[in-house]
Homo-oligomer: A and B are copies of this chain.
Amino acid sequence: MTPVNGAHALLATLEANGVTTCFANPGTSEMHFVAGLDDIRAVHAILCLFEGVATGAADGYARVTRRPAATLLHLGPGLANGWANLHNARRAHVPLLNIIGDHATYHGAFNAPLQSDIRALASALDGWIRTSTDSDHVASDVADAIHAAYGPPSQVATLILPADVSWNELTTRPAKWPVVSRPPLIAPSEHELVRAIDALRSKRTAILVGGATLDAEQLNLAERIAVASSSKFLVETFPAIMERGVGIASPERLIYVPEFAAAQLQDIDALVVLGARDPVSFFAYPNVPSALRAPTCDLIDIGAPGTDTLSALTVLADALGPARIPAAVGDVADAPSGELTTQSLAAAIAATLPDDCVVSDESNTAGVHFYGATRFAPRHSWMTLTGGAIGMGLPLALGAAVGSGRRVLALEADGSMMYTLQALWTMARESLDVTVVGLSNRSYAILNFERQRVGAIGEGSAGQRLLDIDDPTLDLCALASAQGVPSVRVTTAEELVEALRRSYATPGPMFIEAVLPKRLI
């Protein structure tokens, strides 16, 4: 591999830092990167047919491994196409190395058709951004980007790589490529810890966990603290990834509907937050407060993203002493039968969930009973829609399968699926063990619900027609099999159970279209 160009320096530095997975949708300005893959073979590039698949996959990879994958996107439009799932990744606080090929440095001045302000697009991700301008600096730029991606807090690091910086040869090949070590987590604030101990001992307190606090060890520690202090124990509504199932504490989930969430938090004098955020309403509604915490309730935030929440929880648990935690006893309900409802759907999934799988949950309204039903299911990791930008579930499942090698179950609402259905093709191409349940209610059910909530019901059918997606009916099975994923349609709980079991026993992806009653809620 002599001579060495900028693209080689990039790939070699990725390899040196263990960033060996790249979800790619390349174009002309990335051709030297593409060619370099034949020289630096440790970096595995996975082709995605749409950029939103690549970025969501990098997010899923990072959630299960806590390490960054790289993307490879093509200029401003490529970044824009991948932006929504980068927004979700940003809200998940994952490390992600976002590589954007650009025109050659000197070509920008010519305002060619694909020229645009890549930095403006990237700036809206609130992460780290750098344009590499010299082939000799590419390696250190990549190392800085990986360092920035790790954080703390972890973030989306965008590296813009002009084509000539890729193709120009290095003046000298470095003796070794730079390696960055993962920076330590941020120590929790002593002051806030003292406040938390005081509140837990003397006030009506709730503990709200989220973010990187949601592994089994920390959840069980947090439960011990909650029990010892008679505090309420809550988890944020949309965790990036949470360990769940038998033997793991299961806090009450903060409800999406703001009036209900506010009710969960009422009569609380202090809210101790670890890894989550001071809770706010997802959307604004007429005459509903945006803040969910009452003005009279103290906020004690000891676990902003990037904080060492394990040590914080250890301090709190030690301070509060042992707690008698009643053994969490329960069973998963038997496999259901009969018609498919939100209840039987959740029960079917819970009854069949294989051990140690990863769940990518973009089930939206159809998944309302999932959290409760899986309380005593085998241990699994549960990922949700962190940033509200729908079209995340399938890409996230793809990336999680690549990163973990575990069986992934994707629960995917039909409306959301249509944003990034191209992820199915890459699942087939890479023979990934992903079971997709496509939830076909032929409606933007959440919007029908929201529309009623805001009182925005007109007298005609023009508005309603914008929220229904049943004319024509989407054949989800055909969309999957057309992309190489075997598919089956189920209309009863028994059929769903059978299809799930068959998929879990079969290597590779499978798509199950679950036909649900329209407008479940």
| A positions within 8 Å CB-CB of B | 24, 26-29, 31-32, 34-39, 41, 44-45, 47, 49-50, 52, 75-77, 80-81, 83-84, 87, 91, 103-104, 106-107, 109-114, 116-118, 120-121, 123-124, 126, 163-164, 167, 238, 277, 280-284, 286, 290-291, 386-389, 391, 415, 418-419, 421-422, 425, 428-429, 446-447, 450-451, 454, 456-463, 465-467, 469, 471-479, 481-484
Closest to A385 in B: B113
Q: Which residues of B contact A479 (CB under 8 A)?
A: 478-479, 482-483
- Identify A114's interface contact among B123, B282, B465, CB under 8 A: B282
**When chains A and B are docked, how far (Å) is the Cα of A107 from the Cα of B287?**
12
Given contacts A41-B462, A463-B34, contact A484 B478 (CB under 8 A): no
Which of B109, B120, B466 is close to A26, meaning CB atoms less than 8 Å apart? Answer: B466
Smallest Cβ-Cβ distance to A29: which chain B residue: B283
Distance between Cα atoms of A466 and B388 in the complex (Å): 30
A456 CB to nearest chain B CB (Å):
4
Asked if A45 and B462 make an inter-chain contact with CB atoms under 8 angstroms apart, the answer reads: yes
Task: Select which of B418, B457, B482 is within 8 A of A422 by beta carbon.
Answer: B418
Q: Can you list 17 A-B pairs, Cβ within 8 angstroms, ordered by A? A: A31-B456, A35-B457, A37-B462, A38-B461, A41-B462, A49-B418, A77-B83, A77-B87, A77-B389, A91-B113, A107-B283, A112-B281, A116-B124, A120-B123, A472-B483, A475-B482, A478-B482
Q: Are A281 and B107 in contact (CB under 8 A)?
A: yes
Q: This chain: how many copies in the complex?
A: 2
In the complex, what residue of chain B is closest to A50 when comparing beta carbons? B419
The answer to whether B478 and A290 have CB atoms under 8 Å apart is: no
CB-defined contacts of A462 to chain B, threshold 8 Å? 37-38, 41, 44-45
Give Cα distance in the complex from A113 to B113, angstroms: 34
The contact of A112 among B117, B126, B283, B466, by CB within 8 Å, is B283
Shortest beta-carbon distance, A193 to chain B, in Å? Answer: 24
User: In the bound complex, do residue B451 and residue A34 qualify as a contact, i.e. CB atoms below 8 Å apart?
Assistant: yes
Other-chain contact of A31, B75, B87, B386, B454 (Cβ < 8 Å): B454
Q: Are B113 and A117 in contact (CB under 8 A)?
A: no
| Complex contact A284–B107 (CB within 8 A) | yes
Query: Which of B81, B121, B164, B457 has a CB less than 8 Å from the CB of A121?
Result: B121
| Residues of chain B with a CB closer than 8 A to A386's CB | 113
The residues of B that contact A421 with a CB separation of less than 8 Å are 421
Chain B nearest CB, measured from A160 CB (Å) = 13
Evaluate contact between A458 and B38: CB separation under 8 angstroms: yes
Write out the residue numbers on chain B whose beta carbons fall within 8 Å of the beta carbon of A87.
Answer: 76-77, 80, 116
Contact across chains for B283 and A163 when beta carbons are under 8 A apart: yes
Task: Using CB atoms, name the residue of chain B closest to A483.
Answer: B474
A459: contacting residue among B38, B112, B116, B164, CB under 8 A: B38
Pair A77/B84 contact, Cβ less than 8 Å: yes
Contacts of A32 in B (CB 8 A): 454, 456
